[in-house]
Chains A and B, each alone.
Chain A
Amino acid sequence: MSARRLFTGPARLAAIAPYLWLALFFLVPFGFVIKISLSQTAVAQPPYLPVFDLAAGWDSLVAAFGELTLDNYRLLVSDNLYLLAYLRSVMVAFTATLILLLIGYPVAYAMARLPRRWQATAMMLVIIPFWTSFLIRVYAWINILQHDGLLNTVLVGLGIVSAPLSWLATDTAMYIGLVYSYLPFMILPLYATLSKMDGALLEAAADLGCSPVKAFWLVTVPISLPGVGAGVLLCFIPIVGEFVIPDLLAGSDALMIGQTIWLEFFTNRDWPVASATAVVLLAILVVPLVFYERAQMRQIEGRR
């Protein structure tokens, strides 16, 4: 106990460097995004107006403040392009997360029921793809799905289809890529809660005459809900803002919001609109986070 009290001083000092780093490179940049989202596009370097110049004195600063507008946000609301992109992002993330849950749950469940000594190996096998490059994993699928790729060769060879199908630039390809890339993020939190489950609970259910299927729904599923929540969150939030997978695998007729930000920024060089789009995306993503936080709090309180 005395050790804890003695060491807290130096440990607090340890917080200073990472604290400053995060404030400077994580918190402060959000201020810039909000400011630029209120600016106007300009053909200049940097491509927005007004630029706050502290050296120019107080009056010009006040004048610059007066030039800030909500025009970019009005554009986001009035132009269907952005609304559709937000809608599509949420829909795609929802569908992909649902598929991930349906595939990830049986795998995590099987992992948790393996003999103890195999569980570590199984977990390692699921983690390894998470370490392999995202881009490489998407590229591996382009290899398979392209017009004269492996999938079409196999399908035609087996006589399932008569002519090669086009897989690339479709939503199917995008969903395959999303599910493939995010599967470890779904499996690991599910496995973490399922492996902690006490097997005696299922035995008790069986002894009381509960069928295995019913026991699964009445015992296993409620216990695994925290893992489901964490897995859904870990997949849903990044997928809403996903750029690489829809860009490389989906068609170009409907864009997701990550692609829209990228396009506004790099192609149209409209930094203020890109910033406003990012601010709104962030606001959308806070919603599931708050829900999750609340659910967790309720659970902690329920345990007491």
Chain B
Amino acid sequence: MAATAARGLSRINMAALALGLAFLYLPIVILVIYSFNASQLVTVWGGWSLRWYRELLNDEAMLAAAWMSLRVAAMSATAAAVLGTLAAVALARAGAFRGRTLFSGMLYAPLVMPEVITGLTLLLLFVAVNAERGFWTVTIAHTTLTMCFVTVVVQSRLGALDRSLEEAAMDLGCPPARAFVAVTLPLILPAIAAGWMLAFTLSLDDLVIASFTTGPGSATLPIRIYSEVRLGVKPQINAICTLIVALLTLVIIAASMATKLTSARGESAAPL
């Protein structure tokens, strides 16, 4: 009875799913295809060509911005992975401690905080302490923004973990901290790696917070793209966007492989 009801609905269900996914993917597919268009005009298809990628190689401002973005992303993702993992360990294992509510509140607030506010508050701090704005200020801002994402991934992994391994190590005389490092840490490493990659892509993506916290002469890639996009569509932008999409796809595949590695070890995978 229920099976027939489900099958009766499934055609509408499939249509909804197909339309939803098409809506999500078509614009990006179109963007990628047009990045290989030989013609300057978007409406005219001039055949396949790598022309815009070659022009990109000569765009020094764009390349400098890309390099800046990659450095910021790698640096802030690493800091976020360390701090986010520590926070996850504290939330998952420390039980109730004083200030826990404030702690988790501060940790998760950037998830929903409008970027304009986060960017503005951090900038005002940097100005007040007279910090030179550039690489380090953007890195600090991105670390603050992305560490909660690492915590979410690592904390759910810690929660799904079989504690008896850790307990067995301690029963055999291993001190708690060492048991954690020797037994638990290797098990949550894939989750930390997945969190690092998530932080990396979020940092690479951010325009608003970077605009507030960076200084003159050190634009990140989204800032550079944004200022070009405001002037209109250019084929080179299609090309750089395609490259970013390709890079991010690689990161996603790596992250999902890291999560698979986790589930291959016999426990449930951490949801990304």
Q: How far is the CA of A258 from the CA of B209 in the complex (A)?
A: 12
Closest beta carbon of chain A to B245's beta carbon, Å = 6
B20 engages A233 (CB within 8 Å): no
Least CB distance from B244 to A in Å reads: 6
- Supposing A136-B244, A261-B116 touch, asked if A11 and B167 sit within 8 A by C-beta, the answer is no
Q: Does more than half of chain A's interface fall in helix, strand or loop, or is it mixed?
A: helix
Given the complex of chains A and B, what is the CA–CA distance between A285 and B116 in angstroms?
Answer: 13
CB distance from B160 to the nearest CB of A (A): 15
Contact A136/B125 with A23-B106, A248-B229 known, Cβ cut-off 8 Å? no
Cβ proximity bits B118-147 to A, threshold 8 Å, 1 near / 0 not: 001110110110000000000011011001
B208-A243 in contact (CB<8A): yes
Assess the B147–A18 pair: CB atoms within 8 A. yes
- Bound-state CA distance A107–B22 (Å) is 11
* Contact in complex: B116, A146 (CB < 8 Å): no
Complex interface: stretch among A55-63, A65-73, A77-85, A118-126: A118-126
Q: Compute how far the CA of A19 lies from the CA of B226 in the bound complex, rounded to whole angstroms.
A: 34
Question: Do A4 and B95 touch across chains, with their CB atoms under 8 A apart?
Answer: yes
State whether A26 and B106 are in contact (beta carbons under 8 Å apart), knowing that A243-B116, A244-B208 are contacts in the complex. yes
Question: What is the distance, in angstroms, from A171's C-beta to the closest C-beta of chain B?
Answer: 19
A126 CA to B17 CA, complexed, in Å: 10
- Stretch from A201-209, A221-229, A295-303 contacting the other chain: A201-209
Closest 4 CB pairs of A and B: A241-B114, A15-B90, A29-B121, A107-B20
Seed contacts A17-B82, A132-B28; 17 additional CB < 8 Å A-B pairs: A7-B166, A15-B97, A18-B83, A18-B84, A18-B90, A18-B107, A21-B143, A26-B121, A110-B17, A129-B28, A143-B233, A146-B232, A148-B42, A233-B112, A241-B114, A258-B116, A265-B120
Contact sample, A vs B, 21 pairs, CB 8 Å cutoff: A7-B179, A9-B176, A10-B180, A15-B86, A25-B141, A25-B143, A26-B144, A46-B128, A103-B20, A109-B13, A110-B14, A113-B9, A133-B244, A142-B233, A143-B34, A144-B27, A199-B2, A206-B5, A237-B112, A274-B120, A278-B120
Could you list which residues of chain B lie within 8 angstroms of chain A, going by C-beta atoms? Answer: 1-2, 5-6, 8-10, 12-14, 16-17, 19-21, 23-25, 27-28, 30-31, 34, 41-43, 82-84, 86-87, 89-90, 92-95, 97, 99, 103, 106-107, 109-110, 112-117, 120-122, 124-125, 127-128, 140-141, 143-144, 147, 163, 166-167, 170, 176-177, 179-180, 198, 201, 204-205, 207-208, 211-212, 222, 225-226, 229-230, 232-233, 237-238, 241, 244-245, 248-249, 251-252, 256, 272
